[in-house]
Chains A and B, each alone.
Chain A
Amino acid sequence: MISFQQVGKTYADGTVAVAATDLTADSGRITVLVGPSGSGKTTLLRMVNRMIDPTSGSILIDGVDIRSKPAPELRRGIGYVIQNAGLFPHRTVLANVMTVPRLLGWSKDRARERAMELLATVGLAEEHAKRYPFQLSGGQQQRVGVARALAADPPVLLMDEPFSAVDPVVRKDLQTELLRIQSELEKTILFVTHDIDEAILLGDKVAVLNTGGVLEQFDTPTELLASPKNAFVEGFLGADRGVRRLSFFPSETVPLRTDPIVTLDTTPAEVLARKSEQPWLLVVDAGRRPLGWLPEQRVPADGDLQKVPAGDLVSYGHTFAVDRDTLRAALDSAVLSPSSRAVGVDPEGRVVGVATVEDLVPVIRAAQNGSTPENGR
Chain B
Amino acid sequence: MNVLTDAWGWLTTSANWHGSDGIPTRFVEHFEYSVEAVLIGALIAFPLGLLTGHTKRGGLVVTSLANVARALPTLGLVVLLVVVMGVKFRAVMIPLVALTVPPILLNTYEGVRNVDPQLTDAAKGMGLRPWQVLWRAEVPAALPLILTGFQFAAVNAVANTAIAAYSSFGGLGRFIIDGLATTEYGEVAGGAVLIVIAAILNLLFFILLRRIFISPGLQPKKLAG
Residues of A within 8 A of B (CB): 49, 51, 72-77, 80, 82-92, 99-100, 103, 132-135, 145, 148-149, 158
Contacts and interface: CB of A to CB of B under 8 A. Distances in A.
Contacts of B32: none
A91 B215 contact: yes
B127 A133 contact: no
Contact of B128 (A72, A90, A135): A72
Given A133-B217, A134-B220, A86 B127 contact: no
Nearest to A104: B127
Interface string B98-121: 000000000000000000101101
Contacts of A99: 126
A49 B121 CA distance: 12
Given A89-B218, A132-B223, A134-B217, A75 B122 contact: no
A103 B218 contact: no
B125 A75 contact: yes
Contacts of B216: 132
A51 B125 contact: yes
A174 B6 CA distance: 73
Interface string B49-69: 000000000000000000000
Contacts of B119: 86-89
B125 A82 contact: yes
Nearest to A46: B125
B217 A92 contact: yes
Best-buried of A84, A85, A88, A149 by chain B (most CB within 10 Å): A88
Contacts of A145: 122
A89 B141 contact: yes
Contacts of B123: 86, 88
Interface in B130-161: 132, 136-137, 140-141, 143
A149 B132 CA distance: 18
B140 to A, nearest CB: 4
Contacts of A87: 119, 122
A73 B127 contact: yes
Interface of B: 116, 118-119, 121-129, 132, 136-137, 140-141, 143, 214-218, 220, 223
Nearest to A73: B127
Contacts of A91: 215, 217
A80 B223 contact: no
A298 B127 CA distance: 71
A99 B137 CA distance: 11
A100 B124 contact: no
Nearest to A149: B126
A90 B218 contact: yes
A82 to B, nearest CB: 6
Given A90-B215, A103-B128, A82 B140 contact: no
Given A88-B217, A99-B126, A135-B223, 6 more contacts: A86-B121, A86-B123, A89-B116, A90-B217, A145-B122, A158-B125
Nearest to A145: B122
A49 B129 contact: no
Contacts of A72: 127-129
Nearest to A134: B220
B121 A75 contact: no
B220 A80 contact: no
A221 B127 CA distance: 33
A103 B129 CA distance: 10
Contacts of B136: 88
B125 A80 contact: yes
B127 A75 contact: yes
A80 B126 contact: yes
B126 A103 contact: yes
Contact of B137 (A73, A75, A84, A88): A88
Nearest to A158: B125
B212 to A, nearest CB: 13
B211 to A, nearest CB: 14
Contacts of B217: 88-92, 132-134
A107 B172 CA distance: 52
A69 to B, nearest CB: 11
29 contacts: A49-B125, A72-B128, A75-B127, A76-B126, A76-B127, A77-B127, A80-B122, A80-B126, A84-B118, A86-B116, A86-B118, A86-B119, A88-B119, A88-B123, A88-B137, A88-B141, A89-B215, A89-B218, A90-B140, A99-B126, A100-B127, A103-B126, A103-B132, A132-B215, A133-B217, A134-B220, A145-B122, A148-B126, A149-B126
